[in-house]
Structure 1
Amino acid sequence: MKYPLILGFGIVAVDVVVWRARLPRNDLTRLFIRLGLFFALSWVLFSSGLSPFTRAPYDNVVELHWLGQVLEIIWWLMGARLFTLSLDTLLLPRAWRKQRLFSDVFGAVVFLAAAVAALGFVLELPVRGLVATSGALAIVLGLAIQSTLSDVFAGIVINTTEPYAIGDWVTIDDVEGKVVEMNWRATHLQTGQGNLLIVPNAVAAKAKITNNSRPGDVHGLSLVIEIEPEARPRTVLDALERALTGCNGILATPAPYARMKRTTMNSVQYEVVAFVDEMNKKLAISNELFDLCYRHLAAAGVALRTLGVPAPALGVLDEKEALLKRVSLFDSLTGEEVSRLAKHLSRHEYKANQQILAPDTVPDSLSIVRAGVLSVSLIESSGSREIARIGPGEAFGEAGLLAGLPMHVSISTLTPSVLFQLGKDDMTSFLKDHPEVAKQMCQLLAYRQDKLGELATQMPVDHEKGRSLFQWLVGKVWNVHSLHDESKGS
């Protein structure tokens, strides 16, 4: 064969271009192309007498001899690289390929073996003495980098047992984060604050690991609430169970629960445990659940307070006034105005699974939840669909009370409930003196219409021709309650 060196280095150059330019883009196709180039290089070498298992010929021409030596060494290294790539692409599981640990360690071993073979066959160096010397050197290096070696072998154990994989949310000891990278030395976690935390493999192998992503469709969340010791446990647990009932973002199976966790010198700790179907829901559901716990505890007369200090003195507000103070509609009222409005509230008790409001009816009163959990459902052709749950401190019925609009939903109790109601006549006399409250209610109603259009009827043509929903509602309220024009404001 003429010019085997030129042909051999040409094949190597093509292989470098395919490797560096990543052509073609498909990994498997690119691997087969490189394997074909390697077999072509092998044919060129063996057919021209340039066997990688012997010294290169051309002893009489020094330049050609050394070029042949270099080409034979390249053959060994190229073969080692393609062997590790073939094993990585064709045989290793996908999870191992992502983590790179096994392929990196195995590739290093194969390259070391190829380098020793090239030194022995091509350069004809005394490999036995080299291996003996490298063994002593390896002992010295092993003692110097023993912590790094422990990370490597711990990483092999982690990749073999697979307690977690890339993309899983894990807790290693007390640190929680998402696994974004696993290499020969460490596991990289992205924490909830967006920071990158690097955990050495040796530490992870000895730590207590909680994989929050397995099983993939159930993720638990836990809230620990400290309550004053004077509160009766049954009262607290009932309130916490109502809070769990009022949170419709949690799973019914596994069933959520509340329990007394432990006692301390100043408090009793209660734990609320629930489950969600997606990891990214945990934060929002935890916040919602804590708010529900606070409201249901307050409705049960159990107030959260700073421990270690005396309980605050009871105020002069009675039950009705305290309830009105928790409703955002009446935030602008003074104490005297709250007291006046509270006198018109009437108390109503309902059993569980009792309908309070039927679809397409016009409420003639504003209802405020004192205790319990209520379900808001939309009646569709395919059946009833729950769209929300409401609890203590929340109000409904302002659509009918303010503007005479029917509500297209059904509201029923999920637990025994207590409601306070304010009738239309009492509200009319109050709004004449406090038109700003009417505007606040119109804003709330307009917001609900934008977010949940099922809660009100379609707006008339004059609204759709240019008037905003809020402006239309204000005009409707003034007509229904016969308020004076000068009280409208802007």
Structure 2
Amino acid sequence: MKVLHAQKLSFKALFVAVVFFVLAAVIRGASHMLGAEGAYANVLHKAFIFLATIGTVFLLRWLLVDTPQRLLKKYTVAPLIRTLVSLVLFFGAVMFLLSRIFNIDLLPLLTTSAVITGIIALSLQDTFKNLFTGFWINTERIVAKGDWVRVDGREGIVIEVTWRMTHIMTRENDVIHLPNRLVADGVLENYTYPTKLHVVEVRIGAGFNDPPNKVKETLLVIARDVKSVLSNPAPEVWILGYEGYYVHYSLRVWISDFKDAPDVKTELNTRIWYGFKRNMIEIPFPEQTLHRRPLHRPEPPGRIINALKGIEFLGFLKEDELKDVASSARIEDFGRGETIVRQGDAGHTCYFLEAGGVEVFHRTQAGADELVATLFAGDFFGEMSLLAGEPRSATVAAKEDCRCIVIDSDAFISIFKENPGVAERLSVVLAKRTTELNAARLRGASRVDAEKEAQRTILNEIKRFFKIGV
């Protein structure tokens, strides 16, 4: 969309007026100095009247059109006013000159003109309707340049409003030339005025076995993470009703620019697919589903166990212990741009990247999100939340579509109860990883001391979180 800049005051008409006034003054002065008489004086007098009249027309045009136009810069009717006022002024000047210079009686001419004008008005009634509708559209601020509108099922941005036409550029880059009378007679939706705020609605169906509050919360979490969606007014979810095979939901979000509506709707639909899959919410089809979920969790696949062996702080666990962890693990898919964890949020899960990549951001004291790391398949994050219950220390977002193996802290309860020594071994590994992340700030012996101190702190946090004895 082009930015509408304020129009600068033009002095062109004023300059032309001054030139004509100067010429008129020169002729008037020459007539007096030369003492012109008779026909010669009459010619100079008529030349003076002609030049003074034209100068007056341009002066009035500058006063009545160019100067007030700055006040009308928000309205596309300004060019129309300039044209009409100029026509009226020049028509008046012609009538005046015909009367004063050529001594023509204007009454018969005006009477004849009235008849001709009536005939012309009847033949051009649609044109005049477009003309006056153009005034009405702009004086009532129905539509103006830069507005997003819908007319006759087509969406677009108004690029110009003239005395006859409203020109609209559609999203398909086509131009609609709409007569102003059709704008007045039809239904026009304006998405920019009187407010730029607009609701984008996405309707989705969920299964009857999915609790409504769970579905609504999932949709709200998705909406809050989409760029261009406003937090105030806040997103909301409506239940539209119960259909034959699904519960009908409506996710409604607010945006500040209608131009972004298709992009926001696409992003919402994309993230709903990922979000519903992660939260095991069914998007039902018009067919009967006999078993939506297995009654018993199947034996964890070997690839999950092999993946867990690749995680540094789990590598020393026994095969049976790894199976216990794997039995509670789950696969979650994230779409590009989705936030996986957010800095400061509570958490008790760890993520192992099986495919794709993520970006790690840390929010500074100034409130800016600083990129601190990029992780790829084989990396993991969230181990301190998993084993110590600490809030998320950074925000992690999907750089591309990625698949994660998610481990929950509940998987370690039985392991720590049967073998409390595992907690100490885990604290050593995590302390080493923590100090390596801060290696740039540590040197020599201070790093060794810091690693020992970190190990003691992490061990105490693990014992506190899982409530195991010292």
TM-score normalised by the chain length of structure 2? 0.58
Counterpart of 1:421 in structure 2 is: 406
Q: CA deviation at 1:120?
A: 1.8
**2:402 aligned with 1:380:** no
Residue 80 of structure 1 pairs with residue 57 of structure 2: yes
Q: Are the structure 2 counterparts of residues 458 and 353 from structure 1 closer, same or farther at C-alpha, using a change threshold of 3 Å? A: closer
Q: Is the 8 A contact 2:16 2:55 kept in 1?
A: no
What SS does the corresponding residue of 1:225 show, helix, strand or coil? strand
Contact 2:245–2:284 (CA under 8 A) maintained in structure 1: no
What are the superposed Cα offsets for residues 396-438 of structure 1, whole Å, 9 maximum, x if unpaired?
Answer: 8846349x9xxx952599xxxxx85369xxxxxxxxxxxxxxx
Q: 1: distance between equivalents of 2:173 and 2:94?
A: 43
2:347 matched residue in structure 1: 355
Alignment partner, residue 319 of structure 2: none
Instruction: Measure, in 2, the Cα distance between the counterparts of 1:35 and 1:144.
Output: 37
1:42 paired with 2:27, answer no
* Match in the other structure for 2:229: 250
Match of 2:197 in 1: 219
Deviates more, 1:174-183 or 1:311-320: 311-320
Which of the residues 78, 85, 90 maps onto 2:67?
90
**1:79 Cα deviation after fit:** 3.6
Distance 1:312 1:145 in 2: 67
Aligned-partner Cα distance in 1 for 2:97–2:296: 90
User: Partners of 1:121 and 1:376 in 2: how far apart?
Assistant: 84
Tell me the C-alpha RMSD between the 2 structures: 5.1
Q: Please say if residues 98 and 166 of structure 1, whose CA atoms lie closer than 8 Å, have aligned partners that are also in contact.
A: no
> Where does structure 1 lack aligned partners over 5 or more consecutive residues?
1-24, 51-56, 325-329, 331-340, 358-362, 389-394, 414-418, 424-455, 461-490
Q: What are the Cα deviations for residues 10-58 of structure 1, in whole angstroms up to 9, with x where unaligned? A: xxxxxxxxxxxxxxx98534343223212213323444569xxxxxx97
C-alpha distance in 1, partners of 2:245/2:38?
92
Offset, 1:259: 1.5
1:241 to 200, 211, 220: 220
State which of 189, 212, 215 in structure 1 corresponds to 2:168.
Answer: 189
Cα offset for 1:198? 1.9
CA distance in 1 between counterparts of 2:193 and 2:365 reads 38
Displacement, 1:185?
0.8
Q: 1:74 to 1:32 in 2, by over 3 A?
A: closer
Partner of 2:12: 30
| 1:45-444 matched pairs, under 5 angstroms | 45-47=27-29, 59=39, 73=50, 76-77=53-54, 79-92=56-69, 93=71, 94-96=73-75, 99-172=78-151, 174-214=153-193, 218-227=196-205, 234=212, 236-261=215-240, 269-304=248-283, 310=287, 344=326, 346-347=328-329, 353-356=345-348, 366=352, 378-382=362-366, 385=369, 398=377, 400-401=379-380, 410-411=394-395, 420-421=405-406
What TM-score results when the alignment is normalised by the length of structure 1?
A: 0.56
Amino acid at match of 1:87: L
- Tell me the distance in 2 between the aligned counterparts of 1:262 and 1:75: 77
The answer to which of 177-186 and 239-248 deviates more is 239-248
**8 Å CA contact retained: 2:145, 2:161:** yes
Q: Secondary structure at the match of 2:82?
A: helix
Residue in 2 that maps onto 1:451: none
* 8 Å contact kept, 1:355–1:411: no
Letter in 1 for 2:67: L
User: For 1:114 and 1:49, how far apart are their aligned partners in 2?
Assistant: 23
Distance 2:379 2:148 in 1: 47
Larger CA deviation: 112-121 vs 241-250: 241-250
**Aligned pair in 2 of structure 1 residues 290, 116: CA closer, same or farther (>3 Å)?**
same
Conservation of the 8 A alpha-carbon contact between 2:242 and 2:248: yes
Question: Cα distance, 1:320 vs. partner?
Answer: 8.6
Q: CA deviation at 1:247?
A: 2.2
**Matched-pair contact (CA < 8 Å) for 1:169–1:177:** yes
Alignment deviations for residues 72-107 of structure 1 (CA, whole Å, 9 cap, x no partner):
556545543442233222123123477412222222
> Separation in 1 of the partners of 2:181 and 2:25?
46
Task: State the aligned residue count.
Answer: 350
- For 1:104 and 1:233, locate their aligned partners in 2 and report how far apart those are by CA, in whole Å: 65
Q: 1:45 to 1:27 in 2, by over 3 A?
A: farther
In structure 2, relative to structure 1, the CA distance for the partners of 1:148 and 1:98 (3 Å cut) is closer
Q: How far did residue 143 of structure 1 move?
A: 0.9
Give % identity: 17
- The DSSP-based 3-state class of the residue aligned with 1:101 is helix
Q: Distance in 2 between matches of 1:379 and 1:60?
A: 88
Could you say what secondary structure the match of 1:274 adopts?
Answer: strand
CA spacing shift, 1:117–1:161, aligned 2, 3 Å: same
CA distance in 1, matches of 2:19, 2:225: 67
SS of 2:394's equivalent?
strand
CA gap 1:78/1:400 in 2 versus in 1, 3 angstroms = same
Structure 1 residue identity aligned to 2:17: L
Contact 1:31/1:86 (<8 A) preserved:
no
Gap change, CA 1:194 and 1:246, over 3 Å in 2:
same
